[in-house]
C-alpha cells in the first residue's frame, strides 16, 4: 500500500502495509520487562461480591483492572512534567503524532564503571541529517531486552553534552531502548532529562522522551516516518506504541 505524503517541504513515499512496531507489550508476568525496583504489572478480573469479571467463571464479559507503572513496565512516552514541580500532561503537550526520524545503532562506550552514549557517537550517526526524532538502538541488540529486569544493573545512559547536541540539532522526540536516558543512580541529578527539556530555561513542553522501546535487528538504520501513538492519560507519562514506516524515496 504505497502512499505519498507531504511532510514539511518534502514528499515522502511509504508503504502503510509494512509498519514496524518498536514497542514492548505489557504483560501480567514476572517475565515482563521491569525497572525501578517494583513488582510486575497486574491484570486481574474485577470481583464484586460473588461476581467475577471473567467469562470462564460465568460472566458475560471479561472485565479486568490493570495496575502498572508507565516508567517501569514497558514502552512509555514522557513529557517535561516527569521532572517538574508543576503538573504537565503528555496527553496535552503532544499534539502531533507523525515525525521524520532517524534510526541509529550505537555501541556504548566504557567510562569508569559505566557505559555511556557520547556526543561524538551521535554526531557520527546523524551527520548533517535534519530530523525531528531520533531512535537509538544500543548494541548488542539482544531479545532479552523484551524481558530484562534492569533494577540495579547500572544501565547505559546518555551523556549530558550528547543530549545537548541533539537539542541543538532540532531533535524534539528522543526514543531509546533503555529504562531511562539517565544513569540509574545519579543522586537525582537527571542531567540528560534536564538538558533535553531545557529545565533551567524556557521549557520544551512539546518535546518527548520515549524509553523502553525495542528495535528489532531487521530494522535497518536510516530514515523513517515515525507514528508516535500514546494512550490518552493525563499524566507526565503514558504507555505508548511507536511505529516506524521506512521512507522509500
The answer to the question of residue 54 being in a domain is no
Q: What percent of the chain has pLDDT over 70?
A: 100
Query: Residue 196 and residue 199: Cα distance in Å, rounded?
Result: 8
pLDDT bracket for residue 192 (50, 70, 90)? very high
Please report the pLDDT score of residue 60 as a whole number: 98
Write the pLDDT tens digit of every residue in 62-95.
999 999 999 999 999 999 999 999 999 999 999 9
The answer to the question of residue 122 being in a domain is yes
List the domain range (segments joined by +) for residue 137. 2-26+71-246
pLDDT higher than threshold 80 for residue 170: yes
The answer to the question of residue 196 being in a domain is yes
The C-alpha angle with vertex 81 and arms to 75 and 85, in degrees rounded to 5, equals: 140
Half-sphere exposure of 102 (CA within 13 A, CB side): 20
pLDDT bracket for residue 119 (50, 70, 90)? very high
CATH number of the CATH domain containing 167: 3.50.30.50
pLDDT bracket for residue 193 (50, 70, 90)? very high
Region 187-216: mean pLDDT is 98
Distances, alpha carbon 186 to alpha carbons 22, 90, 165, 180, 181, in Å: 28, 24, 21, 12, 11
The answer to the question of residue 212 being in a domain is yes
| DSSP letter string, 134-188 | EEEEESS--GGGGT-B-TTS---EE-HHHHHHHHHTT--EEEESSS-SS-SSSTT
Please report the pLDDT score of residue 86 as a whole number: 97
Please report the pLDDT score of residue 1 as a whole number: 82
Please report the pLDDT score of residue 55 as a whole number: 98
Write the pLDDT tens digit of every residue in 35-50.
999 999 999 999 999 9
| Total structural domains within the chain | 1
Region 1-30: mean pLDDT is 95
Tell me, rounded to whole angstroms, the distance of Cα 244 from its chain centroid: 13
The answer to the question of residue 155 being in a domain is yes
Q: Who's near 55: CB < 8 A, 6+ residues apart?
A: 61, 62
Among the listed residues 71, 89, 217, 79, the one whose alpha carbon sits nearest the alpha carbon of residue 145:
217
The answer to the question of residue 35 being in a domain is no
Region 19-46: mean pLDDT is 98
Write the pLDDT tens digit of every residue in 240-249.
999 999 999 7
Please report the pLDDT score of residue 25 as a whole number: 95
The answer to the question of residue 20 being in a domain is yes
The answer to the question of residue 10 being in a domain is yes
Q: What is the DSSP letter of 78?
A: E
Please report the pLDDT score of residue 43 as a whole number: 98
Amino acid at each position: 500500500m504505497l502512499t505519498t505524503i507531504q511532510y514539511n517541504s518534502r514528499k515522502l513515499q511509504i508503504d502503510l502495509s509494512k509498519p514496524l512496531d518498536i514497542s514492548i507489550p505489557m504483560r501480567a508476568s514476572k517475565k515482563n520487562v521491569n525497572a525501578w525496583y517494583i513488582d510486575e504489572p497486574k491484570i486481574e478480573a474485577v470481583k464484586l461480591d460473588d461476581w467475577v469479571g471473567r467469562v470462564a467463571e460465568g460472566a458475560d464479559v471479561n472485565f479486568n483492572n490493570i495496575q502498572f507503572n508507565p516508567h517501569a513496565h514497558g514502552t512509555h512516552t514522557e513529557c517535561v512534567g516527569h521532572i517538574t514541580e508543576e503538573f504537565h500532561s503528555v496527553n496535552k503537550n503532544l499534539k502531533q503524532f507523525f515525525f521524520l526520524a532517524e534510526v541509529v545503532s550505537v555501541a556504548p562506550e566504557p567510562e569508569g564503571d559505566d557505559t555511556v552514549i557520547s556526543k561524538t557517537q551521535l554526531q557520527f550517526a546523524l551527520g548533517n541529517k535534519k530530523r525531528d526524532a531520533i531512535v537509538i538502538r544500543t548494541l548488542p541488540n539482544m531479545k532479552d531486552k523484551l524481558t530484562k529486569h534492569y533494577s540495579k544493573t547500572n544501565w547505559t545512559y546518555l551523556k549530558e553534552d550528547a543530549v545537548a547536541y541533539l537539542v541543538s540539532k532540532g531533535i524534539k522526540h528522543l526514543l531509546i531502548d533503555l529504562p531511562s536516558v539517565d544513569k540509574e543512580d545519579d543522586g537525582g541529578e537527571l542531567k540528560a532529562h534536564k538538558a533535553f527539556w531545557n529545565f533551567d530555561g524556557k521549557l520544551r513542553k512539546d518535546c518527548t522522551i520515549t524509553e523502553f522501546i525495542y528495535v528489532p535487528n531487521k530494522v535497518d538504520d536510516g530514515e523513517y516516518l515515525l507514528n508516535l501513538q500514546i494512550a490518552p492519560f493525563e499524566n507526565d507519562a503514558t504507555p505508548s506504541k511507536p511505529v516506524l514506516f521506512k521512507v522509500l524515496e
